[in-house]
């Protein structure tokens, strides 16, 4: 079983325009809504891949009801922490002419100390029977940077942490199996600009020395860098059609967790993760994956050893 936990779910509004003109009145050709946010996307992707996952997340207000109803419809098992503040709404703007994607992100509302404590305890309880745990997303305003560290305390399984900055630094103390920042997030974590690939490798080695076993640094369609106890690798993602890139990083984490839970090696799991990200790229709604297409894209990814 896989636990997918995070503090910042979102009700996602996706608006598609023939051509979007900033600063003008724009009329969308189509509008879609769905449950989203990083942990929700991870759990949804694993459910579509046929995996066994449970989502741990706050919900509040009418938006929280929409989130839980959509997860129920998708068959995503969840333990919700009810909150006084409403869940957030985020908007994706798709420009069909340019192919550009604009994301309007509402920050998640702060949780009370009791709500945050309930989330941590519920996640720790769920993780007792979990082979893999995925902790993903930013923390809410006012939450201590130690939230993910506190959840990982005493967890014996393999943890995937998709975070950045202070919360990732704190989580490293409990030696997560894998972390997956992009280059910008890695730079924020080590506190400096990473001007070239050599600087990225150095930063990856630093976070490995602080506790991470595997470090995966994504770069969109560019080559992914992997640092591990087995050495360094470069993975080239497969070509894939682009519809909506939102959620690709979450599907990467989901694909890795799903594959690990099936007994794959770490490299095989990362290959399946990139397959999940590639499949997501061609879909309008995030994390609504197809296992056969994920395997197809994974088979097209190339991995080479570096150094």
For 183-230, the pLDDT digits (tens) are: 999 999 999 999 999 999 999 999 999 999 999 999 888 899 999 999
pLDDT at 43: 98
CATH number of 2-306: 3.40.1190.20
Tell me which residue has tokens 């192919």: 99
Which residues make Cβ contacts (< 8 Å) with residue 16, sequence separation at least 6? 28, 29, 30, 31, 32, 94, 96, 284
What is the spatial distance between Cα 246 and Cα 255, in angstroms, rounded to a whole number? Answer: 15
Does the structure show a pLDDT above 90 at 26? yes
For residue range 252-299, list pLDDT tens digits in order.
999 999 999 999 999 999 999 999 999 999 999 999 999 999 999 999
Q: Confirm whether pTM is higher than 0.85.
A: yes
**Where are the domains positioned within the chain?**
2-306
What is the spatial distance between Cα 47 and Cα 43, in angstroms, rounded to a whole number? Answer: 6
- Cα of first residue to Cα of last residue in the chain, in angstroms, is 36
Residue 291 CA: distances (Å) to CA of 45, 51, 55, 133, 264: 10, 10, 20, 20, 15
């Amino acid at each position: 079983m896989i636990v997918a936990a995070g503090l910042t779910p979102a009700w996602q509004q996706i608006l598609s325009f023939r051509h979007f003109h900033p600063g003008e009145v724009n009329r969308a050709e189509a509008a879609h809504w769905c449950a989203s946010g990083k942990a929700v996307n991870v759990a949804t992707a694993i459910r579509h891949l046929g995996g066994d996952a449970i989502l741990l997340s706050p919900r509040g207000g009418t938006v929280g009801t929409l989130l839980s109803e959509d997860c129920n419809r998708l068959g995503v098992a969840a333990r919700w922490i009810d909150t006084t503040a409403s869940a957030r709404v985020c908007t994706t703007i798709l420009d069909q002419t340019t192919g550009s994607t604009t994301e309007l992100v509402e920050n998640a509302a702060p949780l009370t100390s009791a709500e945050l404590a309930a989330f941590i305890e519920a996640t720790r309880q769920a993780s007792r029977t979990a082979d893999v745990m995925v902790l993903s997303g930013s923390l809410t305003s006012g939450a201590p940077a130690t939230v993910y560290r506190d959840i990982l305390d005493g967890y014996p399984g393999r943890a995937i942490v998709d975070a950045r900055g202070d919360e990732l630094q704190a989580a490293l103390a409990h030696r997560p199996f894998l972390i997956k920042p992009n280059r910008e997030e890695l730079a924020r974590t080590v506190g400096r600009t990473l001007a070239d690939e050599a600087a990225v490798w150095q930063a990856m080695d630093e976070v490995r020395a602080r506790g991470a076993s595997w470090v995966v640094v994504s770069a969109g369609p560019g080559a992914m860098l992997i640092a591990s106890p087995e050495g360094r690798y470069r993975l080239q993602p497969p070509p894939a059609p682009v519809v909506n890139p939102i959620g690709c990083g979450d599907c990467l984490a989901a694909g890795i967790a799903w594959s690990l839970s099936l007994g794959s090696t770490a490299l095989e799991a990362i290959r399946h993760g990139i397959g999940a990200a590639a499949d997501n790229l061609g879909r309008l709604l995030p994390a609504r994956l197809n296992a056969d297409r994920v395997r197809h894209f994974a088979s097209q990814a190339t991995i080479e050893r570096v150094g």
